[in-house]
Structure 1
């Protein structure tokens, strides 16, 4: 089921910038750029299957990425803010693991991705 998903940048100030289709070969570059933007206008990278199923990665310093993913009930902005279903939140260490999470998301059906996410390596504290 591997597919090219659509991507976006989501800025900490709430702005969203569409990136269009994002090949998996470009994910490392996008995540590295997001890390470099932290001192200026910080943002995360998101991929989505459709308007209700997305995965976002936000850099936390130079070594970790915080992921969040939701499968939404409805297509409205209000549902994105309050009506969440099947949400995930986790962190991984480094760009390589962050790319691996996005590749997993692109290559698996949503339910299988949610099960797999429970096994992702956790960052060391």
Structure 2
């Protein structure tokens, strides 16, 4: 885990991303989707650094996917440090963020609350 990379604007965990050796985050202007990212455009327009800072319950852009949406809700409820702590603990216990391509253990959910519980406990 590279904790210093933190969480992307949309809630994805840059700190665990297998692409983090060549990606420098949302604000680096290096992202191939830089000009297309709906979450980046929206958060910049609202003068927010992350979607979790917004009071709206939004599902635009990447927030239409369960993992970034759940991570964003988790931070709204428990804070960013709690998410990072849980992700770090889970990684040490063998939970994998990217197992095949960009899919891993956090992608096997279709219920946001079950994913949030998994993040908290590391158990299905």
> Common fold, TM-score beyond 0.5?
no
Larger fraction in helix? 2
Larger fraction in strand? 1
